[in-house]
Amino acid sequence: MEPCQKLSLAHDSRKSRGCSFAMPKRTARSLPGYAGIMSNFDGAVVLMIGATGGLGSRITTQLERLGASVVPVSRADFDLRDVDGPAKAVAATIANHGRLDGLVIAAGVVAFGPIESVSDAAITELFATNTLGPIRLIREATPHLAASAAAGRDPFIVTFSGIVADAPMAGLASYSAAKAALAAFTKAATRELRKSGIRVLDARPGHTETALSRHPIEGIAPTFPAGLDPDAVAARIVRAIVDGEKDLPSTEFS
């Protein structure tokens, strides 16, 4: 099958281009060069939030190479801070594709600085983007992912709480708090959604060399030691999706 191309949320033509869905229950256990894995993702509809980002763009490319039909969503399509944005993104995906088999939430913002100087605007944006938006997305996606499981597929959710969820950092207190809240939600969701056949994978990499820290919504990034290679982080996450892993703590990225 010809790999499906990226689609905008608003202008979907994948169904008319005949992308079929045939992802069986997980069968692949390894990912050397992705050989032999392609059929696992053929036609799997994966909603990618943060598709313009350093990690989201790479995961999109890698999933598409495996045959997934990735629906790339960026801030231009909907803003995670909008209360009704997640419902619209999921509804548009279902309207255009008829199903949902994966949700990757690779969007986020960071702010740096001491506790006494963080602004109300930054606190609000950190929690709206990193916590509330992802929670609403998971809520909206859950019935459709459960339907995917009921149809015999292997639906998944990927979140990015990051290493700060496990080890909150000085100078990143509000960001750490927003991510720790997301991690708590995903941990509960992992347990709750298991019975519906939905796998929730929370990725907690350490500092990674994307543009995230170079465009904080407030403050200036400290000088970090060299971070992780974003290609390697993306590949590790895709491998975890394929292999049916259930958690991705920071140690999995070192």
Ligand X SMILES: NC(=O)c1ccc[n+]([C@@H]2O[C@H](COP(=O)([O-])OP(=O)(O)OC[C@H]3O[C@@H](n4cnc5c(N)ncnc54)[C@H](OP(=O)(O)O)[C@@H]3O)[C@@H](O)[C@H]2O)c1
Q: Which residues of this protein are in contact with ligand X, per CB under 6 A?
A: 50, 52-56, 74-75, 79-81, 106-109, 129, 160, 162, 205, 207-208, 210-212, 227
User: In the bound complex, what is the minimum distance in angstroms from residue 119's beta carbon to ligand X?
Assistant: 16
User: In the bound complex, what is the minimum distance in angstroms from residue 234's beta carbon to ligand X?
Assistant: 9
Tokens 């010809």 locate to 2
Instruction: Give the sign of the dihedral formed by CA 101, CA 199, CA 138, CA 68.
Output: negative
User: In the bound complex, what is the minimum distance in angstroms from residue 211's beta carbon to ligand X?
Assistant: 5
User: In the bound complex, what is the minimum distance in angstroms from residue 149's beta carbon to ligand X?
Assistant: 25
Nearer to ligand X, 167 or 188 (CB): 167
CA 27 to chain centre: 22
Nearer to ligand X, 18 or 79 (CB): 79
- Collapsing DSSP to helix, strand or coil, 44 comes out as coil
**Hey, what's the torsion of the CAs at 86, 73, 160, 240, to 10 degrees?**
120
Nearer to ligand X, 79 or 84 (CB): 79
Q: What angle do CA 139, 237, 57 make, to 5 degrees?
A: 80
User: In the bound complex, what is the minimum distance in angstroms from residue 153's beta carbon to ligand X?
Assistant: 25
Please return the burial class of 35, using the count of CB atoms within 10 Å of its CB with bins 0-12, 13-18 and 19+: exposed
Nearer to ligand X, 155 or 162 (CB): 162
Distance CA 71, CA 51 (A): 9
Nearer to ligand X, 81 or 187 (CB): 81
Q: What angle do CA 31, 70, 134 make, to 5 degrees?
A: 100
Nearer to ligand X, 136 or 153 (CB): 136
User: In the bound complex, what is the minimum distance in angstroms from residue 61's beta carbon to ligand X?
Assistant: 13
CB atoms within 10 A of CB 131: 22
Q: Of 229, 210, 215, 133, which Cα lies nearest the Cα of 179? A: 133
